[in-house]
C-alpha cells in the first residue's frame, strides 16, 4: 500500500500536493511549523519537526511510508540532509523536487556571497537603505551591521526585533514585480539582500531591482547531499509510477 510523504513548505510542494490529491495517491503533507497559518493543503497535513533523522526514520516506519518527496526550500539543508539519512536507514525511496538557482541577466548588478555570514560581512560599509528579504530566522545575524536602515519582509508579525532602524512589511509570497518595485521605490532601497531561492515565488524583488538599477547581494545555496533530483511535478508523478505507485484515474 502506497503512502507518500511530501516534505513541503514551498510553491512547488503545493503544486505537487494538488496533483497527488487529484491522482488519489495516499499522501501526507509535512510543514515544519515555522509560521502561524501555513497554507491549507488538499492532503492530510502534519506540522512540526520529526526529531532529527532518527525521529524521521521512526515516523517512516510507524506510518508505513513507502515514498518521500523532499520538496522543501533549497536553504532547508538540515531537513534535506535528515531526509537522505532517514530514508537510507528505513529503506524508503526518496526524491527531491527542486528548482534551478536564479542566474544574473543583462542589467543585473549581483554580488554573490556564499552564505548569510558572507552577506553580513559584505555590509560593513556606510549606512544604506537595505531591503532584507531573507525572512525572520536570520535577522540576529544582521544585528552586527546596525548602521543600515532595513526594510524587513516577514510572514508573521514579529516580536522584538534585533535591528534598531527597521521598517517591517508583513506579507507572504508569492510576490509581484509591480508590488515589489513600488515597495522598493517607496522605501528608497539602495541594496537588496536575497537568498538564491530559485522558483517564481520570490524572484519579483530581483526583477524590480534590475528595473531600478539597485544592486543585489545574492546569498548562494548551501550544499545539499547527493539524492535523486526532479525538477517538475510531471517528473515526480512519472518517478512515482515507475516506482510502483498506481496513479489514480
| Residues making contact with ligand 3Y8 (CB under 6 A) | 9-11, 14, 31-35, 38-39, 73, 133-138, 153-156, 172-175, 195, 197, 199, 201-202, 205
Stretch that binds ligand NAP, among 67-75, 121-129, 158-166, 184-192 (CB under 6 A): 67-75
Least distance between ligand NAP and beta carbon 151 (Å): 18
Nearest residue (CB) to ligand NAP, 48 versus 107: 48
Q: 175 is written with which cell numbers?
A: 510576490
CA distance 62 to 67: 14
Cα 158 from chain centroid (whole Å): 19
Site string for ligand NAP, 5-34 (x = CB under 6 A): --xxxx-------------------xxx-x
- Cβ atoms of 197 and 91 closer than 8 Å: no
Nearest residue (CB) to ligand 3Y8, 45 versus 85: 45
Least distance between ligand NAP and beta carbon 65 (Å): 13
- Nearest CA to 90 out of 117, 123, 66, 115 is that of 66
77 binds, among ligand 3Y8, ligand NAP, none (CB under 5 to 8 A by kind): ligand NAP
What b/e string do you get for 140-162 counting C-beta neighbours within 10 Å, with b at 16 or more? eebeebeebbbbbbbbeeeeeee
Amino acid at each position: 500500500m502506497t503512502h507518500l510523504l511530501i516534505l513541503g513548505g514551498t510553491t512547488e510542494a503545493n503544486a505537487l500536493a494538488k496533483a497527488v490529491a487529484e491522482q488519489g495517491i495516499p499522501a501526507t503533507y509535512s510543514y515544519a511549523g515555522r509560521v502561524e497559518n501555513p497554507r491549507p493543503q488538499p492532503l492530510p497535513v502534519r506540522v512540526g519537526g520529526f526529531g532529527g533523522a532518527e525521529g524521521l526514520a521512526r515516523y517512516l516506519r510507524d506510518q508505513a511510508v513507502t515514498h518521500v518527496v523532499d520538496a522543501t526550500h533549497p536553504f532547508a539543508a538540515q531537513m534535506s540532509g535528515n531526509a537522505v539519512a532517514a530514508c537510507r536507514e528505513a529503506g524508503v525511496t526518496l526524491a527531491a523536487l527542486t528548482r534551478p538557482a536564479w542566474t544574473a541577466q543583462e542589467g543585473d548588478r549581483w554580488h554573490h556571497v556564499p552564505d548569510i555570514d558572507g552577506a553580513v560581512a559584505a555590509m560593513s560599509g556606510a549606512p544604506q537603505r537595505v531591503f532584507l528579504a531573507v525572512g525572520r530566522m536570520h535577522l540576529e545575524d544582521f544585528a552586527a551591521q546596525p548602521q543600515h536602515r532595513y526594510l524587513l519582509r516577514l510572514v508573521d508579525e514579529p516580536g522584538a526585533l534585533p535591528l534598531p532602524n527597521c521598517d517591517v512589511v508583513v506579507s507572504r509570497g508569492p510576490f509581484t514585480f509591480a508590488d515589489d518595485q513600488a515597495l522598493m521605490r517607496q522605501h528608497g532601497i539602495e541594496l537588496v539582500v536575497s537568498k538564491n531561492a530559485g522558483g517564481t515565488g520570490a524572484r519579483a524583488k530581483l526583477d524590480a531591482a534590475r528595473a531600478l538599477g539597485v544592486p543585489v547581494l545574492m546569498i548562494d545555496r548551501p550544499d545539499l547531499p547527493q539524492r535523486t533530483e526532479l525538477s517538475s511535478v510531471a517528473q515526480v508523478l512519472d518517478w512515482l509510477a515507475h516506482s510502483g505507485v498506481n496513479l489514480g484515474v
